[in-house]
Structure formats: C-alpha cells, structure tokens
C-alpha cells in the first residue's frame, strides 16, 4: 500500500512538472504543435508528404516586441510533430505569440531573427499567431508555403520544315540572380536585396553539356507544334528578387543534315523588369525561328503544401514578348513589364 502511494506521488509530480515551469519568477507552460494533414494533395491530385522524421524548426516570437521567446526542432512522427531527438517541448508564458515554422530545420542567428539559406533549398514556412493559455496549450500551425521561386525552360524550333537533324541546349546562363539566401524572422520571408546592395547578384548556369538536364525530342509533344523540343526536367530553385532587367544567354548545339559535325551558337537577350516572387514558378518557352527568338513566360503558383484542402488552387497568367536576335547575339530589350511592381 505504501509502495503504491509513493508511485502515485511520483506520477503526480511528473505530471505537474510537465504542466509548468518556473523561470525568473515567470510561470511557463508546455506547448504542443499540430500540422494538420502532413500528407497533402497537389494540383495534379498526387499525394505528397513531409518525409518521415523530417525536422522542422519552430521559433516563437512575442507578437508585440517581435523578440524571440523560444525555439526548438520538431520531427514528423506518425503524422504528428514531436520534439526532435527526444527533447523537451517548448515552454512559454501565457500571452500572444507568432509561431514560425520552417522546413527543413535551420540554425538561427543568436538573436533568432535570421538564418543563412543554402542555394537550392526548397524552403517552406508559415507564421501562425495564436494565444498561449495559462496551461498546456495545443497550437495548430498554418499551412506551409514555398518561400523560394522556380524557373523552368523549354526550347524548340518553331518550324517542322527544317534541315536540322539535331538542336540541343548546352547551357543557359541567367544573369542578375540573388546571390545569397537569408531568412528573415518573424516575417518568415527570404530577404530581397535592394539597389543599395551593390554585390547582390550573380549569374546562374544550367549546364546541360552532358545532356542529362533536358529531355530532348525531335518531334513535338502531343498537342504541340514545332520540332526539336528541349524540356528542362527539374526546375531551378532561385531566391526571390525585385523587378529589374536581367539577361538570358542560351548556347545550343545544332547540326544540319549535310554537315559532318555539330556547331555551337550562342544567343543573348535582355528580359525586361520581372520580379521573381515567393511560391511562384516561371516557365520560359523559348521559340527559335530562322531570324528571331521569341519568349513566352508563364507565371503560375507553385504547388503549396496545403494541409487542409483537397487540392491546391492557383492562378496562372501568361505573358508573351518577342525579340529579334542578330547573329552576333546583341542584347535586345523585350520591352514591357513581366510581373512585379
């Protein structure tokens, strides 16, 4: 009987410790997190999910002062979020907070206001404002959204009446892309440098010299026209940028039926003001004629990790501009304004 009483007291003590902590005279309570529908459905009706054991960073900020209150890493486990590495949950005083979820998990700066992001990271994030009760509280996090942008290219010959037997992309160089990634918290947005930052841009190269990054077909896909299609297999992840002109330099390898070997040609054009916005995909259709190069840019919403709906909706806009490129590849402004402010 005495042993049972002792065990009961130990259990009650453990529960009490779980319910609150005292730090510097303040009473803190544990937080539990939910991310509904970690398994999600995309526009293509295909199921996607955060991988098992995927680790998120959850950082909590005072909604008035925007100062970091607590942070920790959480793992996906059986459809739930649990403290990573068998750690403790976050503890907070009662009040209103902004809960920032970031996937994949990141190492925050000492003040918790930023994190360095590697190029090519498909960063997802959300900000949830919620009330912490004076007791153990469950917080349902908002859906995660893509914070970077995507760029994808398709190149083709406009005509089917051609003596070319091959026309393949070798390289595409995109100028003036944001050089380094920086996550800003508690806004949970990637930093977009302004014109006051002199060294903000660099060129990005899609190198298809080994013919592995583009799907090549001499004939047009079903429902399409033209010939010699080069379709980029995987989109390029880029950091968001402000609306400014940039260059695209395309090198192709072509061979006429009567030629013994292929020749390389390089074309370069200046794209007008276009902003790369978070969570959007920019699909460039590059059409080659005998004496011109035509760009069509389709801008659509990148599939979100929408955890509460059956499908991810999106708006889509298509903007077309033409440019004549001479044999020397002189940059030509397409004119107009493609997205952004």
- Domain boundaries of the chain, sorted by first residue: 27-43+50-142, 149-179+198-338
Query: What are the C-alpha distances in Å from 108 to residues 97, 111, 182, 331?
Result: 18, 8, 10, 42
Neighbours of 56 (CB within 10 A): 25
What CATH class has 149-179+198-338?
Answer: mainly beta
Split at pLDDT 50, 70, 90, the class of 163 is confident
Average pLDDT over residues 184-212: 94
* pLDDT at residue 214, as a whole number: 97
202/237 Cα distance (integer angstroms): 14
Taking the model in full, what pTM does it have? 0.81
| Mean per-residue pLDDT, 141-163 | 90
pLDDT of 310 higher than 80: no
Superfamily, domain 27-43+50-142:
Fimbrillin-like (2.60.40.3730)
DSSP class of 13? H
- Residue-wise pLDDT for 38-62, tens only, equals 644 333 334 456 777 899 999 999 9
- Give the confidence band of 326 by pLDDT, cuts at 50, 70, 90: very low
Measured between its terminal Cα atoms, the distance across the chain in Å is: 75
Q: Which tens digit of pLDDT belongs to each residue from 184-195?
A: 999 999 999 988
Confidence grade of residue 161 (pLDDT, cut at 50, 70, 90): confident
């Amino acid at each position: 009987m005495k042993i049972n009483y002792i065990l009961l007291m130990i259990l009650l003590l453990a529960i009490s410790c779980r319910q609150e902590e005292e730090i510097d005279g303040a009473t803190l309570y544990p937080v539990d997190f939910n991310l509904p529908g970690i398994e999600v459905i995309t526009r293509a009706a295909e199921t996607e999910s955060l991988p098992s054991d995927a680790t998120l960073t959850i950082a909590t900020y005072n909604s008035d002062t925007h100062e970091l209150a607590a942070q920790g890493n959480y793992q996906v486990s059986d459809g739930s979020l649990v403290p990573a590495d068998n750690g403790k949950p976050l503890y907070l005083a009662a009040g209103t907070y902004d809960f920032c979820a970031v996937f994949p998990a990141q190492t925050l700066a000492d003040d918790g206001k930023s994190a360095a992001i590697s190029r090519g990271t498909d960063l997802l994030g959300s900000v949830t404002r919620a009330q912490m009760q004076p007791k153990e509280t469950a917080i349902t996090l908002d859906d995660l959204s893509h914070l970077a942008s995507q760029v994808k290219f398709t190149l083709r010959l406009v005509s089917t009446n051609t003596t070319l037997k091959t026309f393949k992309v070798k390289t595409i160089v995109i100028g003036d892309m944001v050089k380094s990634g920086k996550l800003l918290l508690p806004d949970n947005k990637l930093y977009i440098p302004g014109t006051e930052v002199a060294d903000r841009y660099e060129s990005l190269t899609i190198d298809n010299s080994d013919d592995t990054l583009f799907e090549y077909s001499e004939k047009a896909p079903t429902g399409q026209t033209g010939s010699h299609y080069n379709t980029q297999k995987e989109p390029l992840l880029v950091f968001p940028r402000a609306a400014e002109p940039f260059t695209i330099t395309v090198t192709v390898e072509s061979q006429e039926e009567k030629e013994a070997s292929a020749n390389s040609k390089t074309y370069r054009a200046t794209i007008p003001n276009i902003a790369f916005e978070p969570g959007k995909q920019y699909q460039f259709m590059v059409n080659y004629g005998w004496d011109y190069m035509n760009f069509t840019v389709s801008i659509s919403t990148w599939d979100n990790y929408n955890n509460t709906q059956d499908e991810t909706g999106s708006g889509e806009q298509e903007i077309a501009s033409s440019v004549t490129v001479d044999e020397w590849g002189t940059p030509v402004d397409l004119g107009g304004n493609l997205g952004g402010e």
